[in-house]
A = this chain, B = another copy of it.
């Protein structure tokens, strides 16, 4: 027995149905045809279990269907949920999704963009890494890009969570609790959130201490180092706001290591709600982001050609648990 026999092609169907290949193609893609022919072709195609080869179609139309997705780190719960949203939307359109992780590194990102272009993928959703410069060639090549979670160029539509409002709410909450020495532990590139942080402080009459804004790279180690450094060098701080769940995780870990009690010694608010925030000790007060929706909406945007809004902003929500207390 010879396994892997040749697959059924449109030619086979045409022959079996006694029509031309053009007719089969038309029938299958909803073009005009007489009722009788249509029925015969459909029946034959079903009988032969014919599935059009994406290869042939793609070459002819000069573009592969499907959408490319570039995220910094699939291991991070936030991007995993975002990815889930993209997949969920893509599935309903029957579009395959090709994924790549950039490690938040513009160089790797550029390489992955190259791969996508090689595949003639013309629809891409990305969480961009550096400034938007990496994307200039891709855009020139006619790529249909939608940014998710971060907005780094204004000639590309994007879907983001409402950073500013989220940070503002959190800071207001903390200040309301009496805190003045509030640190912001950010990932590089979260300039939006940092700006919102300082803006809110000044608008509330709290002096901002630039040394209390600390940046980390997008790895667990870097996050831990930053958190531990902050907690060690600034014994005077009473509250920490982290720019992402990995930073929050690192802060809890570092605090435990250094015998800093949460919320007794310092209060903690984490950007991004994750399942374990509730299991943590103490349960973490967070700014929840609709990660899955961000992905879903981005996919809708990239799939529905046509009109493209500037930027879609999705609301965030402060969820109060038990990691914040009054200023000690």
A residues engaging B (CB < 8 A)? 3-4, 7, 51-56, 58-59, 62, 64, 66, 73-75, 77, 80-81, 83-84, 87, 91, 94, 96-101, 114-120, 140-142, 220, 249, 252-253, 274-276, 278-282
Contacts and interface: CB of A to CB of B under 8 A. Distances in A.
Give the number of copies in the complex: 2
Given A4-B141, A141-B4, A249-B279, A54 B96 contact: no
Contacts of A53: 118, 120
Nearest to A7: B141
Contact of A87 (B52, B56, B91, B101): B101
Given A77-B77, A77-B80, 8 more contacts: A3-B140, A52-B118, A58-B58, A66-B119, A74-B80, A80-B80, A84-B101, A274-B276
A3 B53 CA distance: 30
Nearest to A6: B62
A113 to B, nearest CB: 11
Contacts of A279: 249, 252-253, 276, 279-281
Nearest to A140: B3
A84, A94, A99, A282, most chain B CB atoms within 10 A: A99
Contacts of A75: 77, 80-81, 84
Q: In terms of DSSP, what is the predominant structure of the interface of chain A?
A: mixed
A83 B55 CA distance: 25
A238 to B, nearest CB: 21
B55 A120 contact: yes
Contact of A118 (B54, B73, B114, B115): B54
Nearest to A58: B55
A84 B77 contact: no
27 contacts: A3-B142, A4-B141, A51-B117, A52-B118, A54-B120, A55-B55, A55-B59, A56-B59, A58-B58, A66-B119, A73-B84, A75-B81, A77-B80, A87-B99, A87-B100, A94-B115, A96-B115, A96-B116, A96-B119, A97-B100, A98-B98, A220-B275, A253-B279, A274-B276, A276-B280, A279-B280, A280-B280
6 smallest CB-CB distances across A and B, nearest first, come from A281-B281, A4-B142, A276-B276, A55-B59, A54-B119, A80-B80
